[in-house]
Amino acid sequence: MISRILVSGVSGPIGTALLPPLKTRGYQVTRLVRGVAKGEDQISWDPGKPITPEAVSGFDAVVHLAGESIVGRWTDEKKRKIRDSRVIGTSALAEALAHAKDKPQVFVCSSAIGYYGDRGSEVLTEQSAPGIGFLPEVCREWEAATRFAINAGIRTVQMRTGVVLSPSGGALGKMLTPFKMGVGGKIGDGQQWMSWIDVQDMVGAIHHILKSDLLQGPVNMVAPKPVTNTEFTMTLASVLARPAIFPVPAFVVKLAFGEMGETVLLGSQRVEPTQLVMSGYPFRFSTLRASLENILGS
């Protein structure tokens, strides 16, 4: 039975949404925080340094969400931060858990559908091969960094997360201003697939993973119905009762955002949540419109 949970990355949109329902369900939640710990419910850590096994001993479950934002121009320094915050931090945490006196039953670690790379309209499941490029390389190394926990017999899940739709920032937050002003539109040719998940289902699926002893390895954290960028922008505009007639050409995206724009905004991943569906997770928001109407209050 799980009662004590350690969570990293609590200040991000997923961590912010995850903590209240965990506490409501009666779990004792401790936060892994950068900087000085404030209170008994916090443990201080530096993702770039080793962690003492004693510091993370005695937890029933560990949910690791921390990582440098991928938003911004991918300079060499930005890429180093993206990679190191995920690979070195995960490796340090997994190794500490592996050597802890009281090991957790389950280690749930973030990854991303960036693992698959730009795959056009190919339908992708957890069994699909990794893609080529910076993000797929980072995701492969990120997932491999959990091996210490796996080798120690800890049930380990790598969450390959899609675009998380949340009322508190994230990708949707950045889209809202131009769309509310009536100057939103598709990106590039709009044919790239977007695999999304409502933040409430993200939280629900994490809780489902904690309880589902048979779930391990990669799990695609996406809704059952991915959409093209054109469909996404048209649905968002419809929910906001605004037009979507100002497309952003691909060359503008590349000029403005460089490699990040080409990979994240123009890349295509049509991902299915095979493991979540097979394990019986009941999605609350299976369609994009239902999610957006709930988030935007329509």
pLDDT, tens digit, 9 for 90 and up, residues 178-237: 898 888 899 999 999 999 999 999 999 999 999 999 999 999 999 999 999 999 999 999
Contact 271, 224 (CB under 8 A): no
Residue 193 CA neighbour count, 13 Å, CB half: 23
Pairing state between β 4-8 and 61-64: parallel
Domain 4-230+255-296 CATH (choose: 3.40.50.300, 3.90.470.20, 3.40.50.720, 3.40.50.620): 3.40.50.720
If one counts every other C-beta atom within 10 angstroms of the C-beta of residue 138, the result is: 23
> Does the pLDDT of residue 175 top 90, yes or no?
no
**What percentage of the chain's residues is helix, strand, coil (to nearest 5)?**
40, 20, 40
Residue 248 per-residue DSSP state: B
* Distances from the Cα of 285 to the Cα of 17, 40, 104, 137, 290, angstroms: 16, 36, 31, 31, 6
- Express as a percent the part of the chain with pLDDT over 90: 78
Q: How far apart are CA 288 and CA 196, in angstroms?
A: 8
pLDDT at 183: 85
pLDDT, tens digit, 9 for 90 and up, residues 275-284: 999 999 999 9
Domain ranges of the chain: 4-230+255-296
Nearest Cα neighbor of 18 from 150, 142, 214, 161 is 161
The arithmetic mean of pLDDT across residues 137-148, rounded, is: 97
pLDDT, tens digit, 9 for 90 and up, residues 94-128: 999 999 999 999 999 999 999 999 999 999 999 99
Residue 48 CA neighbour count, 13 Å, CB half: 7
